[in-house]
């Protein structure tokens, strides 16, 4: 009898426990892939800003915002999450995607400001590393900036120096053996 009661209690606990973050992310990603926007929004509305799924959901939202051509509403939702959550990782993850949106829109100062905020929210984490990387890209790899210099002996030709290729366009192709 006691075993039965325990089993019933365990079942009840499972029914009431929120789904693991991974499931939530997978589910919403599926809805995004199916372009079921109303359901995506309803599912997101139901999450609190502290839901652990928000660590990974912002990048799903980014994909969705591009697909539905609505970057501003994604920024609004992520800004709301960032300003209301008590979890530093949720805040950083949301702000990183806000920064990516601003960068995509060409607003580099706003992107840099938000990415620095993301870094400050979760110092020493992979979120801070991501933010640093994006700031580096904005500051060093944006269109119009001088391409980082390099030179070296080619495996199949003579020495290649980017500076010495001036005067003609150059295409750099990064590749790996597969």
Partner 1 sequence: MEEVPLLKQLQAKYANRATIVGISIDESLPRADATIKEKGMTYPILADGKGFEGSIPVAYRIQGTPDLFVIDKAGKIVKRLGTATEIDAALAALIDPGR
Of positions 5, 15, 46, 172, contacts partner 1 by CB under 8 A: 172
Check residue 66 for interaction with partner 1 (CB under 8 A). no
The residue among 78, 107, 110 whose CA lies nearest residue 94 is: 78
**Neighbouring residues of 67: CB distance < 8 A, sequence distance ≥ 6:** 32, 35
Q: Are 100 and 93 in contact (CB under 8 A)?
A: no
User: Residue 151 region, left (φ>0) first, then alpha (ψ -120 to 50), else beta?
Assistant: beta
Judged by CB under 8 A, the chain residues 116 through 135 that form the site for partner 1 are 133
Check residue 163 for interaction with partner 1 (CB under 8 A). yes
3-class DSSP assignment, residue 151? strand
Check residue 175 for interaction with partner 1 (CB under 8 A). yes
Number of residues that bind partner 1 (CB under 8 A): 37
Comparing CB distances to partner 1, the nearer of 17 and 174 is 174
Nearest approach, Cβ of residue 74 and partner 1 (Å)? 21
Nearest approach, Cβ of residue 26 and partner 1 (Å)? 22
Site map (CB under 8 A) of partner 1, residues 140-159, x = contact: xxxxxxxxx-x-xxxxxxx-
Instruction: Report d(CA 78, CA 47) in Å as an integer.
Output: 12
- Written as six digits, the tokens of 64 are 């969705």
The residues that touch partner 1, with contacts defined as CB under 8 A, are 133, 136-137, 140-148, 150, 152-158, 160, 162-163, 165-178
């Amino acid at each position: 009898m006691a075993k039965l009661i325990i089993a019933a209690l365990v079942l009840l606990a499972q029914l009431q426990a929120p789904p693991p973050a991974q499931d939530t992310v997978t589910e919403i990603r599926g809805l995004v892939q199916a372009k079921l926007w109303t359901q995506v929004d309803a599912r997101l509305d139901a999450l609190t800003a502290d839901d652990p799924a928000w660590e990974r959901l912002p990048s799903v939202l980014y994909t969705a915002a591009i697909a539905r051509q609505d970057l501003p509403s994604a920024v609004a939702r992520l800004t709301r999450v960032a300003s209301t959550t008590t979890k530093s990782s949720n805040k950083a993850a949301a702000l990183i995607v806000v920064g990516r949106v601003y960068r995509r829109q060409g607003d580099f100062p706003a992107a840099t400001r938000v990415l620095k905020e993301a870094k400050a929210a979760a110092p020493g984490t992979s979120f801070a590393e991501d933010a640093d990387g994006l700031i580096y890209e904005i500051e060093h790899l944006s269109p119009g900036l001088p391409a980082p210099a390099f030179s070296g002996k080619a495996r199949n030709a003579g020495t290649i120096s980017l500076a010495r290729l001036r005067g003609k366009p150059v295409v750099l192709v990064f590749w790996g053996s597969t």
